[in-house]
Amino acid sequence: MYYLAVDLGGTNIKAGLVDENGNILNRAQRPTGAERGYEEIAKDISLCALEAAETAGVSLDEIESVGIGSPGTIDNKKGIIVYANNINFRNTPLRSEMQKYINKPIYMGNDANCAALGEYVMLKQDMDCFVFVTLGTGVGGGVIINGKLFTGFNGAGTELGHTTLFMGGKECTCGKKGCWERYAATTAVIDMTKEAVKANPGSYLASLCDGDIEKVGGKTAFTAMENGDELGTKIVNQWIEYVAEGITNMVNIFQPEVLSIGGAISREGDRILKPIIKYVEENRYSRDVEQTKIQIAKYGNDAGLIGAAFLGKH
Amino acid sequence: MYYLAVDLGGTNIKAGLVDENGNILNRAQRPTGAERGYEEIAKDISLCALEAAETAGVSLDEIESVGIGSPGTIDNKKGIIVYANNINFRNTPLRSEMQKYINKPIYMGNDANCAALGEYVMLKQDMDCFVFVTLGTGVGGGVIINGKLFTGFNGAGTELGHTTLFMGGKECTCGKKGCWERYAATTAVIDMTKEAVKANPGSYLASLCDGDIEKVGGKTAFTAMENGDELGTKIVNQWIEYVAEGITNMVNIFQPEVLSIGGAISREGDRILKPIIKYVEENRYSRDVEQTKIQIAKYGNDAGLIGAAFLGKH
């Protein structure tokens, strides 16, 4: 049997045909057209998924289920997208709409949760608990408990990035202040670098972006550090501590067997991983027990699609 | 069938005979003698549990299992107490030692986790997720997921009090700085009151403890507030915000159906509950979904014993 998976984004609908081992055998894609009504988008999601099967010569009889990964808050029990910021969905009955085109079980999940599930499935290791943290524009995450995606009673759980680092601190998009996300997202390292460039216009760090803060990227401080720059090193180290403090919290709460760190910035690898591990070891609560293995995520962009495929199974 | 339960403390061993509905039918108690070797303590735990059955005329044949709630880090899989501060246990094979006296399945759990499980069982309501937070000398907690106690892969999970409120803030007993526990425990409200009394020796608040900070208790600021005192009100409100910020984090992470607040200070009831609910509603991440019901714990001191009894079942 095969699984159909959809990674729904603000710009594109990406579909995949996935086998039982998590291999993506075929893909299809079309624009989301996020400005349209949900009926049209649901139709395109359905047709895109079906296309991924058809163009691989796989009939619907061979499909076990369809899984949709979507940004926002998803209620899989009811089959609705409660809220998705960049697609303008609000209490949208995506499942019932899609079932007009696909007569198969349809499962829905938040995209960060799907990425967590995909990473878990591909690690091919039974675990009591697995935590996935993704560092991007925000800090997202997902938690797998006893092989099942944990999302709380209303599907909105594991908003790991929206836990406190500094109560009353920087304003977060969620309305609360001082969330982990505001300090540990890629956006945060960019903000810190911009501030440093502004405050130190003659520095080596500033020279890397020609003194133009608009040219600062997520890698700027890392490049400076690589070249022995003190200012760049300071920024990276501070950001790593912010990341590691939040990861310590997740370890104290979940004590997962494995905690994987994903997102583009995780490609920095050992440069960020080793100091994070050291910080967590020094700050975690329980020191006398077997410890969480902290590692860089291995399955990158495809994890979301693979996880969506396995939503029904997990 | 019946269950035997033990609430192991630094001072006393308390045992109970519990029926299938969570009623405590009989009790037994003896001093822990924490300074003794673990063999002697394990023998007394066993005999105390057996006594709770015998003096009720219940034979061992009618006992389903024995559950032990203990402070510290417990590894139920291995049957050891990894670490318990006030009993000097360290990698103590309590289960195998107890099995010399009791030939029944023996389950072990952390005392805060047992209290969480007891509260959950007595609420008699199936839930996807239930979170219990207890405010005492520290901030402890427990999480029930799909009817089962969640403790992470090593049994050391849900150290909810050791999550960050102010990164780099007040030193915590755990070695980390700025933990929720340091701001939201009963101890924290006492510390805040002591500081206010010191800074305002002529105040009404100071008069409540004859200006002697040693007489400040967990209720002093509450009593002042009750009598319209501004200083007392300020302390209580600040403390409530600290409590509520951490509870917001737990809601954002777990999205439990019910979150219960226990510990002696929770007897303040609506006075603390209502502002906590308001704060969480204003600060939680997902506002468009069905919301967590936040309430005061209902089963007080007995929850730990009841939870220990049901460790095997959950």
Domain spans in chain B, listed from the N-terminal domain onward? 2-104, 125-185+233-296
Q: Looking at the domain that runs over B125-185+233-296, which CATH code has it been given?
A: 3.30.420.40
In sequence order, what are the residues at sequence separation of 6 or more whose Cβ sits closer than 8 angstroms to the Cβ of residue B162? A249, A252, A285, B172, B174, B176, B179, B180, B181
Please tell me the CATH superfamily of domain A2-104, with its number. ATPase, nucleotide binding domain (3.30.420.40)
Pick from A83, A145, A164: which is nearest to B165 by CB?
A164
C-alpha distances (whole Å) from B311 to each of B21, B43, B132, B149 are 14, 21, 16, 8
Do B272 and B266 touch, CB atoms closer than 8 A? Answer: yes
Do A98 and A66 touch, CB atoms closer than 8 A? Answer: yes
pLDDT in tens, B68-81: 999 988 999 999 99
pTM equals 0.94
Number of CB atoms found within 10 A of residue B2's CB: 22
ipTM reported for the complex, 2 dp: 0.94
Kindly determine whether residue A249 and residue B163, on different chains, have CB atoms separated by under 8 Å.
yes
Separation of CA A101 from chain center: 29
Kindly determine whether residue B164 and residue A162, on different chains, have CB atoms separated by under 8 Å.
no
Chain A residues inside the 8 Å CB shell of B156? 255, 285-286, 289
pLDDT tens for chain B, residues 1 to 314: 999 999 999 899 999 999 999 999 999 999 999 999 999 999 999 999 999 999 999 999 999 999 999 998 899 999 999 988 778 889 999 999 999 999 999 999 999 999 999 999 999 999 999 999 999 989 999 999 999 999 999 999 999 999 999 999 999 988 999 999 999 999 999 999 999 999 999 999 999 999 899 999 999 999 999 999 999 999 999 999 999 999 999 999 999 999 999 998 999 999 999 999 999 999 999 778 899 999 999 988 899 999 999 999 88
In angstroms, the CA B50 to CA B276 distance is 43
- Whole-angstrom Cα Rg for chain A: 21
What tokens were used for B26?
């009989």
Which of B162, B170, B173 to mutate to test binding with chain A, by most A CBs within 10 Å of its CB? Answer: B162
Which of B167, B180, B257, B282 to mutate to test binding with chain A, by most A CBs within 10 Å of its CB? Answer: B167
Kindly determine whether residue B167 and residue A163, on different chains, have CB atoms separated by under 8 Å.
no
Q: Does domain A129-297 have CATH number 3.40.50.300?
A: no
Pick from A158, A245, A285: which is nearest to B174 by CB?
A285
Average pLDDT over chain A, rounded to whole?
A: 95
Chain B residues inside the 8 Å CB shell of A292? 153
Which of B75, B149, B164, B241 to mutate to test binding with chain A, by most A CBs within 10 Å of its CB? Answer: B164
Q: Hey, what amino acid is at B194?
A: K
In angstroms, the CA B106 to CA A227 distance is 59
**Residue found under tokens 């892969």:** B153
In angstroms, the CA B141 to CA B109 distance is 12
Name the strand (E) or helix (H) holding A67: strand A63-70
B2-104 shares its CATH topology with B125-185+233-296: yes
In sequence order, what are the residues at sequence separation of 6 or more whose Cβ sits closer than 8 angstroms to the Cβ of residue B209? B197, B215, B216, B220
DSSP 8-state secondary structure symbol assigned to residue B35? T
User: What is the number of CB-based contacts under 8 A between chain A and chain B?
Assistant: 149
In angstroms, the CA B310 to CA A152 distance is 23
Of all residues in chain B, the one with the smallest CA distance to A171 is B283
Backbone φ and ψ for B31, nearest 5 degrees, come out as: -65, 145
Q: How confident is the model at residue A248 (pLDDT cuts 50, 70, 90)?
A: very high
